[in-house]
Amino acid sequence: MSIMAEPRDSHELLEMRDLLARLQSELRFKQAKIEALNFELARLRRWRFGSSSESLDASVQAVLFDQILADTRIEDAAEHDARAPQPAVKTTLRRAVRQALPAGLPRIDHHHEIEAALCGCGAPLRRIGEDVSEQLDCVPAQFFVHRHIRGKYVCANRACACSETVQAAAIPAQMIDKGIPAPGLLAQVVVAKHDDHLPLYRQAEIYARSGAPLARSTMAQWVGICGQRLAPLADALRQSILSQSVIHADETPVALLAPGKGKTHRAYMWVYRSTDYAAQRAVWFDFCRGRSSEHPRRVLEHYAGTLVSDDYAAYKSLYAGGAIIEAGCMAHARRKLFEAHELNSSEIAGHAVALIARLYLIEREVKDLDPAARQAVRQQRARPVVDELHAWLSSQRQRLAKADATAKAIDYSLGRWRALTRYLDDGNVPIDNNAVENSIRPLALGRRNWLFVGSQLAGQRAANIMSLIETAKLNGHDPWAYLKDVFERLPTLKNSDLASILPHNWRAPLQPASPFEIRAAVAA
C-alpha cells in the first residue's frame, strides 16, 4: 500500500513540489546553523584549551607544554647523573660543544700555579704555557653611592665685601631635586616595573637582598615623578609617529580599578605604531577609559596618510573626510578563513588560505627592497594571486548558505577587499597589521603580573613610559641604558631639543661605563 496517495491533478503536484522545496531549504538552513554553532563551539574550545598556532601543519609548531616537559626531562637526567656514583676509571664520553662565552663580559683572572715548581728528581719545572677555562658567574644587583664633594671657598682678601661669603660649585641638576636616587637607579626601578613587569613590592624584596632596602612608597614616588617628567618626551614621540605617511593602529583591553568600589571595569590601551618599513621605528600608547570612536578621532584628527587597522567600527568615521586612507589587515582575513578550514574542515577556506600563503611568501622576499621596487614586484607577482583569490572567493560564495562559517569568512574578505589589497598600490603599506599587534604583546604579558591599573593617572603614566621603553627596544637599544641617559640629560634640556633624545634618534654614549667598571672604580 502506498504511504502517500497519488496527487489528483497537476495543482496538487505543484503544491507537493513547493512543499518539498521549502522543506529542503529549511533543512539546508538548519544544517548550516548547526555547522555554524559547531564552529563557534570548536573555536571556543580552541581558545580555552588549544594552541593558538594558525599553521596548516600544526605538528611543526612546538607548544609551551612540550618545551616545559623537555626542560624537565633534562633537569631530571642531570640530577640523576649527579646522584650516580662516579666510575673509578674515567671513560671518554662524547660531549656537546660548549658555546663560547660573550667576549664583551668582564673577566676576573684567577691564577693557579704549582707551589713547589720542582720535579720529583729535584730539577726545576719549566713553564711552557697555560690552560684557560672559563666559568660564567653573576652576583645580585649591587648598589653603590655617588659622593658629590664640593669645595667651599671664600675670598682671601679680608678687606673684600665677599670675604664672608662661601662659594661652592653647583651640583648638576637631577630628576628628583635633593633626592637620593641617581639616574641609573631611577632607570632600574622604572624598567623593572614597566618592562620586566615587576611590581614595586617584589622589587623591594630583591633590593633588600642586595643590601639596599628601599620602601615601596619611596619607589612609587620616584615612578610618579619620572612619569610626569617623561610626559613631554612621550608627546614628542606621538607627534613623530603622526608625521609618517603610513601608521598602524590597534587597541587592547586593560582592567581599571574603580575608585572606592574595589572592583574593576574595562579600559583600553590604544596603540599607534610606525611600519616596519620605516627607517626609524616608533610606537605610542594611549590609555583611555573606553573603546569609542572619540579616542582615535582625538589622536588622528589632523592626520593625513594611510591607516592600517582591523575592521573595528571606531575607525570608520576617520575615512569619511578623505584625508585618511584605509588599509586592511590580510592576517585578520586569513585568520577567519583558517578557522573555517581547521574547525569546519572547509576545503574552500583551505584553498583560500593556501593562496594567501603565496602572498606572504612574496612579502618575505620584498621586505628589504625600497618602496618603488617593492610595489613593482607586488604588481607583477602578487596582483595575479590576489585576482585569483578574489575570483575563487566570489565563485564559491554562491554555493554556501548565509549562516555557514566559511560564508562569513568570505563575506569579511570580500566586504573589505579594497582595504585588504591597498598594499599592492603603495610600497610603503604593509600587508597586515601584525607590527602593532606585536607591540601589544609586552602589555599582554604585563597584565598577568599587575592584573589591573590603579587609576586613570597611573594608566596614562604607564602609557608614556611604555611608549619610550618599547620604542627603544624597537630600535635595538637597551631600555635601561636609554632611560639612564635620558634621566641625566632631561633636567637641563630645552623642550625644543627633545627630539634629540627620542628613542629612534638617540645614540648611546661612546664608551659608557658598565656597572662592573663603576664598581671596580669605586672599590679602587
The predicted pLDDT at position 1 comes to: 44
Residue 49 class from Cβ within 10 Å (0-12 exposed, 13-18 middle, 19+ buried)?
exposed
Angle at 285 between CA 284 and CA 291, to 5 degrees: 135
The SS3 call for residue 25 is: helix
d(CA 181, CA 517): 20
Question: What 3 state SS string does 253-277 have?
Answer: EEEEECCCCCCEEEEEEEEEEECCC
> What is the spatial order of strands in the sheet that 324-327 belongs to?
283-288, 264-274, 246-257, 305-308, 324-327
In a domain, 388, yes or no: yes
In a domain, 377, yes or no: yes
Work out how many domains the chain is built from and give that number. 1
Residue pair 352/330 in contact by the 8 Å Cβ criterion: no
d(CA 524, CA 343): 67
The predicted pLDDT at position 148 comes to: 85
Q: Which of 178, 201, 176 shows the shortest CA–CA distance to 187?
A: 176
C-alpha 411 chain-centroid distance: 31
The predicted pLDDT at position 504 comes to: 93
Task: Report the relative pairing of strands 324-327 and 305-308 from DSSP bridges.
Answer: parallel
In a domain, 401, yes or no: yes
Per the structure, the complete domain to which residue 390 belongs is given by 330-426
In a domain, 447, yes or no: no
The predicted pLDDT at position 517 comes to: 55
Residue pair 231/242 in contact by the 8 Å Cβ criterion: no
Q: What are the residue ranges of helices labelled H in 161-304?
A: 183-194, 200-209, 216-242, 294-300
In a domain, 393, yes or no: yes
Cβ neighbours of residue 416 under 8 Å, at least 6 residues apart?
A: 311, 328, 333
**Cell digits of residue 509:** 654614549
Residue pair 256/265 in contact by the 8 Å Cβ criterion: yes
In a domain, 347, yes or no: yes
Q: Tens digit of pLDDT per residue, the chain (524 long)?
A: 444 555 556 777 777 888 888 887 777 777 666 766 666 676 666 666 655 555 444 433 333 344 444 544 554 555 556 566 666 555 554 554 567 778 877 888 888 887 777 776 777 877 788 888 887 777 777 888 888 888 888 888 777 877 678 888 888 888 888 888 899 999 999 999 999 988 888 999 999 998 888 888 888 889 999 998 999 999 999 999 999 999 999 999 988 887 766 678 889 999 999 999 998 899 999 999 988 999 999 999 999 999 999 888 889 889 988 899 999 999 999 999 988 887 777 788 889 999 999 999 999 999 999 999 999 999 999 999 999 999 999 998 888 877 678 888 899 999 999 999 999 999 999 999 999 999 998 887 777 666 678 788 888 999 999 999 999 999 999 999 999 999 999 998 988 899 999 999 998 886 545 555 555 554 54
**Cell digits of residue 58:** 600544526
How distant, in Å, are the alpha carbons of 268, 305, 330, 389, 423 from that of 429?
26, 10, 12, 20, 5
In a domain, 361, yes or no: yes
The predicted pLDDT at position 65 comes to: 41
The predicted pLDDT at position 56 comes to: 47
Could you give the dihedral angle defined by the CA atoms of residues 115, 116, 118 and 119, in that order, rounded to the nearest 10 degrees?
-80
In a domain, 386, yes or no: yes
Model pTM?
Answer: 0.77
